[in-house]
Amino acid sequence: MTEQAHPQRGLAGAFALCALATLVLLASHPAPAARGLVELLQAEARDRLRDALVHGGFIATLSVLIVCFALLSRRLGAARVPVVAALVMFSLGCELVILSMIIDGFAVPAIATRFSGAVEPGELGSAETLLILCGTLIRFLLPAGLLFQAVAIACWSALMVRDGGRPRAVGVLGVATAAFLGAVIVAVPPPLGPHLLLGGIVLQSVWYFGIAALLLDRSGWPAAPSRS
């Protein structure tokens, strides 16, 4: 039991750190209050280092989460179809979110830095076109990635609910989180939708904390099934 507890505690710590990192990064995300294109370019150029740190932090956190869920999938039964499907969906979702983070945290500030001193209408027009393209990609990639993650969370959580006991409570939270994210992405239009998505990411972090608590409790989670 002692030998098995050490990696389990390590995995629990990794989930808890990822949850905490997600909440800190959300709170640190730059939100430039600019009026007009010129002010927006200047603000994005000024905050480029902070943008890189915050979005780079999200990319690192999502990468660690993929590893965490790969290890968690072994405990849930890596040969079970819902577990495999959930891991694939979550990984794909993370890739889409990471791509949106690259655009938002690195491409947009680079464009802003390039055109921050522009005064000619032609240059400003080019900058506006590039920013519109980046914004369109982000508005597609981020919700799509979160939707794939929601499907994965629903699959894992459904298995936790079936396990009963303490995992059931975490599973119910996961199902509710997945349903909330799916409803916001599918049914809530801008400008309210993006703000509610942030709430969904907070719920995801709480779910990660719940998984960490289960992993720390030896009696809280049944052993992984030996076959599908």
User: What pLDDT score does 189 carry?
Assistant: 84
User: What pLDDT score does 116 carry?
Assistant: 82
User: What pLDDT score does 217 carry?
Assistant: 80
- To 5 degrees, how large is the angle CA 175–CA 179–CA 185? 145
User: What pLDDT score does 218 carry?
Assistant: 64
User: What pLDDT score does 195 carry?
Assistant: 83
Output the tens digit of pLDDT for each of the chain's 228 residues.
Answer: 444 555 688 999 999 999 999 999 999 987 766 678 888 888 888 889 999 999 999 999 999 999 999 999 988 888 889 999 999 999 999 999 999 999 999 999 999 998 887 667 788 889 999 999 999 999 999 999 999 999 999 999 998 998 778 889 999 999 999 999 999 999 988 888 888 899 999 999 999 999 999 998 865 555 555 444
- 3-class SS of residue 98: helix
User: What pLDDT score does 122 carry?
Assistant: 81
User: What pLDDT score does 38 carry?
Assistant: 83
Report the alpha-carbon distance of residue 84 to residue 113 in Å, rounded. 43
User: What pLDDT score does 162 carry?
Assistant: 85
User: What pLDDT score does 3 carry?
Assistant: 44
Q: What is the signed CA dihedral for 202, 207, 213, 214, rounded to 10 degrees?
A: 180
User: What pLDDT score does 191 carry?
Assistant: 80
CA distances from 59 to 53, 65, 170, 197 (A): 10, 10, 25, 18
Q: State the DSSP H helix or E strand holding residue 164, giving kind and residue range, or none if neither.
A: none
User: What pLDDT score does 33 carry?
Assistant: 66
